[in-house]
Copies of this chain bind each other. A is one copy, B any other.
Amino acid sequence: MSSGYTLDEIAGWVGGRVRGDGSLRVSGVATIAEAGAADLTWATDSKYARQLAESKAGAVLGPDDLPESSLPAVLTKRPASALITVLEHFAPPAARPASGVDASAVVAPNASLGDDITIGPQVVIADGVSIGHRAVIHANVCIGPSVVIGDDCELWPGVVIRERCRLGNRVTVHANTTIGADGFGYEFIDGQHVKVPQIGAVEIEDDVEIGANCAIDRAKVGVTRIGRGTKIDNLVQVAHNVQIGPNCVIVAQAGLAGSIRLGQGVVLGGQVGIKDHTTIGDGAQVGACACVAKDVPPGARVIGMPAIDGKQFAREQARLRRLPEMAEQLRDLIKRVQRLETAADD
């Protein structure tokens, strides 16, 4: 009764086939560099063949066309997708508080809680909150008045959801993220910054995942919206009245200023900054560290500060590397032309 799974079992999960000994047993999953004899490693592409040759892994999960080697292999058409299945099997049990409502939680009597719900220690749930079935609310989460949360959501410790915000189904929010803080709006009147009331809320659609330590501000009026299936990394700023389309990917530390609109399937690299009231078209990709100051058309790839077309950026950078040399050449040319002119005048 040894632990782990055989390659035959793994091939069965992912609809793949085994090359080598199908009865071989692996007890963990590890990267090519870190794997040991008891581990399964993976290569989503046959270009990893050389690294695999040096790996100490016991077996490999790879594409159908993975070059043969001494390593037993589970081969599939879509190894990236198969890896997800494998990791799900190897995952340790989910870390969750005991189901039910912890005795230390403070839950308003008029809150509505779904079936099979888990409310961890020290959680605070305010008046009029509604939470769907099977939600997992970890320790120290605060949910403000009249918040509505769908089914199968998970909120990690320290998450704050402010009043009247709404989360769809299967929404995950990671630790210490704040949803629904006031948008940043002031008018300068008589020598002071006077606060513009932020009376809207945040609406997060189904299947959204939001990373740790993010800030998603409530709208001035109406809602700040995060579209269905969008995934947001850590430490991201989403300002008031931003509208994010479905299936976007926003990498860590990106910042979206007020009233920005993202189409569907937009990808923002890490540390991207976007000016307020800008529109980013469907499928556009913004490279890491870019600073976007005007609209980006659908499908475009932009980068730089200010962000411009990616190919143009590459061309400019190549020239910029040669700029000191160009300056020399220019100085030299000026002298030579002067000499030619002098000679011509003679």
Interface residues of A (CB under 8 A from B): 28-31, 34, 78, 80-81, 83-84, 87-88, 90-92, 95, 97, 102, 104, 106, 120-122, 124, 126, 138-140, 142, 144-146, 156-158, 160, 162-164, 174-178, 181-182, 184, 186-187, 189, 191-197, 199, 207, 209, 211-215, 217, 220-222, 229, 231, 233-235, 237, 239, 241, 247, 249, 251-253, 255, 257, 270-271, 273, 275, 288-289, 291, 293, 304-306, 308, 312, 315-324, 326-327, 329-330, 333-334, 336-337, 340-341, 343-344
Contact = CB atoms under 8 A, between A and B. Distances in A.
A321 B308 contact: yes
29 contacts: A34-B221, A78-B189, A83-B196, A92-B163, A104-B104, A142-B158, A156-B162, A160-B175, A160-B212, A174-B215, A181-B234, A184-B233, A184-B251, A193-B229, A193-B231, A212-B217, A215-B235, A233-B237, A253-B253, A253-B273, A271-B291, A273-B288, A289-B291, A304-B305, A312-B321, A312-B324, A316-B320, A316-B323, A320-B323
Contacts of A182: 174
Contact of A326 (B138, B146, B247, B330): B330
Contacts of A191: 247
A326 B327 contact: yes
Nearest to A291: B289
A231 B192 contact: no
A140 B124 contact: yes
A139 B138 contact: no
Contact of A181 (B122, B156, B229, B320): B156
Contact of A189 (B81, B213, B222, B251): B81
Given A158-B160, A270-B273, A237 B215 contact: no
Contacts of A87: 196-197, 199, 220-221
A261 to B, nearest CB: 10
B211 A215 contact: yes
Contacts of A139: 106, 124, 126, 142
A137 to B, nearest CB: 12
Given A158-B158, A317-B306, A334-B333, A215 B234 contact: yes
A335 to B, nearest CB: 10
* Most chain B beta carbons < 10 A, residue from A178, A199, A344: A178
B209 A195 contact: yes
Given A193-B229, A213-B214, A178 B176 contact: yes
Contact of A175 (B121, B181, B197, B333): B181
Contact of A160 (B157, B193, B293, B344): B157
Contacts of A341: 336, 340
A44 B187 CA distance: 12
A168 to B, nearest CB: 14
B237 A234 contact: yes
